[in-house]
Amino acid sequence: MADEHATTATTDDAGLSTAVPPVGHGSLLGLPRQFAALTVSAMLVAAVVYSAWWGTTPEQNTDSVQYLATASDLSDGRLEQMPNVAPGYPLLLIVTGSTDGPGPALFFTQLVAYFAVAWLVLALSVRFELRLRWRVVLLAALLSPPLVEWTAAVYTETLTTLLVTLGVYLAVRWVETDRLGWLVGAGVALGGAAVVRPSMQAAAVVLALVASGHVWRRQRRAAQVLRVGVASLAATVLLVGAVSVHNGVRFDYPATTPLAGWHLLTRTAPFLEQADQTPLTTELIAMRNEKMLQGDEHEPYVMLWLERERVEAATGMSPRELDRELLRLDARLIAQNPLDYLLAVGNVAPTFVFPSASTKATGGHSAVQLLFAVASFAVVALFVVQVLLVAALAVARRVGASFRTPLDRPETRLCYVLVLGLAAYLFVVSTAFDIGLARYRVPLDPLLLLVTFGGWRAVSKAVAGLDRHGDRRERVNHGRRKRYEQEPQMPLSNAER
């Protein structure tokens, strides 16, 4: 299955193989046909295994209740009360007939959606010139239980993953074709992710910055940069704006969700005592301490928003007044105690890179959990090292080193930088405004695997290029020395002696 020969092998002016995505009879939706056949076979096997292992009824948790409640409220086309969640995922529940409870339709829809994610990531791996064996390893990683398990739960992870991956893929197509419509499509995908998962609301800003940087690098024209920025942001502004305006007009909540203050409270709860003592802060402190002693999570900052009715009763505030006052309280606490806030953020930062596998993926076996944990931390280490090495390659080239890598091509470089930008953004949002769970990273896990493999491929090609360059230079120097030795030497003059 030598798919290496299935790609269209062309070279640029510098002699670098572009390894463009295969086209025509040699490809299937961006993958070499033989590898595409292997991928389809693996996905079919995975579908059978996972549906038999996990069943076809997605499991529910506390978040699931909120999504199902919103879906039930929205099923007649009109919301009767301000939802606690964005409307994107409840719409999927309605489409799959899951308003009264999840069933096989939701499971298989999410499973197919995730298989589409895996296909897109593998298609992007062609741009990184991954060898067949490493592409097979990437396929196995993408279809492993820790990444697929989210399809068997009533969570936003799978839908968000699809939209984010699609956004990156379409941005790459924009660079390859130089057609602005692809970039608009990327913006629409990330805008869709924003109304599925509010933490993705500024993802399009990352896209706009990376795309603008690409255009500025090539043309240095402000008008083109502005055009690209508008194309990247337009869909998010329209979608998030439409939801916010609807909620503002109908419920006097100009936002996609009313829980921003409650999520930020997870970072300010450790130093609530620093605030002025009011009925609100007194109740919040008491609630935090109770959760620390009696909560199932043994974590005083998790799911505080579930106690909204209790706080409303204690303070006499309406839900809208409470949510707004809580957001103001968070802002005051952070402004007055910035170091305490940074400490709270730092305390949860490590959890963002922890393994995300649950008992569903491990089967409840500690040995399997340990195996997945070791694999997860190994990937984190490989990711960090390759980022440092790729940065070192960039510095080496600045000082005159000569080599070629897949990252020299603009579409591959944009893909790499865009994924790193999205990862940095999601890390900041998840830890600065919430508890930084590893689950919050899940929508980027397939793309992070891609850039990990791709980064190491770039490093290996750069090292090989440096070796070849060094050998060639040594051969040239050796030839010069040999010619010099063979040339007759003029006798030294008296002055030279």
Identify the H or E element spanning 477. Answer: helix 445-486
User: Whole-model pTM?
Assistant: 0.88
Supply the pLDDT for residue 370. 94
Alpha-carbon torsion (416, 417, 422, 425), positive or negative: positive
Smallest CA-to-CA distance from 391 within 379, 405, 411 is with 405
Q: Which residues pair with 452 in a beta bridge?
A: none
Q: What angle do CA 95, 101, 103 make, to 5 degrees?
A: 70
Where does 298-417 show beta strands of DSSP type E? none
Cβ burial 127-140 (10 Å sphere, 16+ → b, else e): bbbbebebbbebbe
Supply the pLDDT for residue 307. 80
Name the residue with tokens 């998840």: 430
Supply the pLDDT for residue 34. 93
Smallest CA-to-CA distance from 153 within 69, 59, 46, 54 is with 59
SS3 153: strand
Q: Say if residues 436 and 354 touch (Cβ distance below 8 Å).
A: no
The CA distance from 266 to 304, in Å, is 8
The CA distance from 199 to 88, in Å, is 13
CA 461 to each of CA 392, 402, 403, 406, 468: distance values in angstroms, whole numbers, following the listed order: 14, 12, 8, 8, 10
* Residue 300 phi, psi dihedral angles, 5° rounding: -75, -5
Name the residue with tokens 């096997």: 45
pLDDT, one tens digit for every residue, the chain (497 residues): 444 433 444 443 333 334 444 444 567 888 999 999 999 999 999 999 999 999 999 999 888 999 999 999 999 989 999 999 999 999 999 999 999 899 999 999 999 999 999 999 999 999 999 999 999 999 999 999 999 999 999 999 999 999 999 999 999 999 999 999 999 999 999 999 999 999 999 999 999 999 999 999 888 888 899 999 999 999 999 999 999 999 999 998 899 988 889 999 989 998 999 999 999 999 999 888 887 776 555 455 566 777 888 888 888 898 888 889 999 999 999 999 999 999 999 999 999 999 998 888 998 899 999 999 999 999 999 999 999 999 999 999 888 888 899 999 999 999 999 999 999 999 999 999 998 999 999 999 999 999 999 999 999 999 987 766 554 554 545 455 555 455 555 554 554 44
Identify the H or E element spanning 31. Answer: strand 31-32
Length of the chain: 497
